[in-house]
Amino acid sequence: MQKTIKQAASCTGIGITGQTDCTAMFHPAPPDTGIVFIREDLPGKPEIPCRPEYAQVDARWTSLVDNDIRIEHTEHLLAAIAGLGLDNLQIRLNSPFIPVVSSFSSREFVQTLSAAEPVLQDKAKKYFCVKEPVCVENSFFHQDKRYDRFLLALPAPELILTYLLDYPDKEIPTQTAHFAFGNLSDFTSELAAARSYITEREYETVVKLIGKNIEDCLVISKGPLNLQWDNEPARHKVLDLLGDIHTMGRPVKGHFIGFRTGHKDNNQLCQKLKMQVKEELCT
């Protein structure tokens, strides 16, 4: 069955660029509404539904964009919504930005939406189902050597995400993370709190993008790290992938396997996937 929340709730934090405080206010919505963002700071309070045709990646995060109306940094909130199995919400914003919370993880969003009491609704849940394999293949160069990356979606009876993290210089040890999303408690305890990270060589580039938010970002250096799990970086990649997949606008059934991939690859796959499953829904 579809699910919404029983009562309104909100999260406040700093926008992704580190320049302004912002608030996301969550409200219940009727069955078949989907996830709808509302820019209350703009005349007419324009709405952007969470759909793949509005998803794009301009920097190091995913946004929803309709003409000049933007919803910035959607992945960690959408991961929380997907992980909790919520189908119908209004999300009212007082700026273009979804606030950064809990060290760029989904933990505070999960806590807030859980406290708002998720409730079942009287309509069956509708899924996008991967019907046949879909793959995105890209590459990058590091020190004049080419490295490949790929993201593959396969049919599966539930949502399963697998990620292999592998940096050319091994700034982070090669590691994997694998999750099947059939158990809400596993998502809450084992994935939602996985923090975003950068490597030391990325620091100067990233600080120009996110300003003082860099203080809440896990920086991977040669010294000892206080990781929550040995594979926390790979777990965060799974969290990002979950949020980006949810730009499809509905829960998805399929097995997604990523190797060295990021937001741009996730978005490319969703654009391919929407053509396959445009009107093909499953229960």
Domain ranges of the chain: 3-120, 127-282
Domain 127-282 in the same topology as domain 3-120: no
Q: Closest Cα to residue 96, out of 122, 58, 145, 152?
A: 58
Residue 44 zone, left/alpha/beta (φ > 0; ψ -120 to 50; rest) = left
Q: How far is CA 50 from the centre of its chain?
A: 12
Q: Closest Cα to residue 230, out of 279, 181, 171, 177?
A: 177
* Local confidence pLDDT in tens for the 283 residues of the chain: 999 999 999 999 999 999 899 999 999 999 999 999 999 999 999 999 999 999 999 889 999 999 999 999 999 999 999 999 999 999 999 999 999 999 999 999 999 999 999 999 999 999 999 999 999 999 988 888 899 999 999 999 999 999 999 999 888 999 999 999 887 789 999 999 999 998 888 888 899 889 888 888 888 886 677 899 999 999 999 999 999 999 999 999 999 999 999 999 999 999 999 887 554 556 6
Class at the top of the CATH hierarchy for domain 3-120:
alpha beta
Quote the CA–CA distance of 100 and 13 in Å, as a whole number: 6
Class at the top of the CATH hierarchy for domain 127-282:
alpha beta
Q: Closest Cα to residue 164, out of 181, 152, 182, 155?
A: 152
| Helix or strand holding residue 187 (H, E) | helix 184-190
Q: How far is CA 203 from CA 68, 73, 115, in A?
A: 30, 19, 35
